[in-house]
Amino acid sequence: MRVYADLHLCPPLDDVPNARSMASVLGELQIEVVGLVVPPDKIAATPPAILAFKDAGLDVAKRLDLSPRSREELLRNLRKFRSKYEIIGVDCSSLSVSRVAVRDHRVDIVQFPKQKSRSAFRRNLAGTCRAALEFSMSELTQPAGFEGRLYGMRREIEVAAGASTRVIGCTSASSSLELRAPRDVAAILHILGLSPEAALRAVSEIPLAIVKENRLRMEEPQLEEGVRIVRRSVHHE
């Protein structure tokens, strides 16, 4: 049975009624794993929204969204916060940031602002991209510049498919009204150019793999990239 995920939820972290409402709808939509945006100043404690989601049976991964103004700022934040989060996304609003973000193994997800043509996901970036390229359904709910954003999403999906770049879909929801069924998200990604199977993987296998790999890394931070523990030996005295 396929397990679905939405790795980009942005509810107010102290609004418990809103979190409970979202958790109820997420359950109805059969979404089991969620990424909740948590700023660094709230990572030490467990925000009430996380507790509400977990009480509803959801698997919650803490996410940090970075919007660096320079490559130096990006690298500094990755050193500081990578070990504290299960998901790190980067807003690639400048070319200098994009060039680093797509290649750095500490970056899980990259997003490219659709209103800025200069920061689009292009072939020269796709060729070295190790992160997953994220498409948010919230991009399609803003009336201003809709046609331009739609064209940008089509173009970026075409580039991603040509370079075998992983693609994920999300809602960026802050309330239950903004949530969408994962198959609806997949359907939109298919309309935009992904194959039916790739579109389903964008809301299931790929986001789930991101969370799983980073949890392993957090459990075994001394392991080199690409190394996994398959079995532990038990020594008896």
Question: Tens digit of pLDDT for each residue in 23-68?
Answer: 999 999 999 999 999 999 999 889 999 999 999 999 999 999 999 9
Residue 230 in any domain: the answer is no
Looking at the 3D structure of the chain, how many domains does it have?
1
**Residue whose token pair is 């107010």:** 12
Q: Within a 10 A sphere around the Cβ of 213, how many other Cβ atoms?
A: 14
Q: What is the enclosing helix (H) or strand (E) of 231?
A: none
**Distance of alpha carbon 62 from alpha carbon 151, whole angstroms:** 31
Predicted pLDDT of residue 146: 81
Residue 97 in any domain: the answer is yes
Predicted pLDDT of residue 228: 53
Contacts with 209 (C-beta within 8 Å, 6 or more apart), sequence order: none
- Do 42 and 13 touch, CB atoms closer than 8 A? yes
Angle at 141 between CA 137 and CA 142, to 5 degrees: 125
Residue 141 in any domain: the answer is yes
Residue 114 in any domain: the answer is yes
Q: How confident is the model at residue 145 (pLDDT cuts 50, 70, 90)?
A: confident
CATH code at position 139: 3.20.20.140
Residue 187 in any domain: the answer is yes
pTM equals 0.89
What domain range is 32 assigned to?
4-219
Question: Tens digit of pLDDT for each residue in 180-205?
Answer: 999 999 999 999 999 999 999 999 99
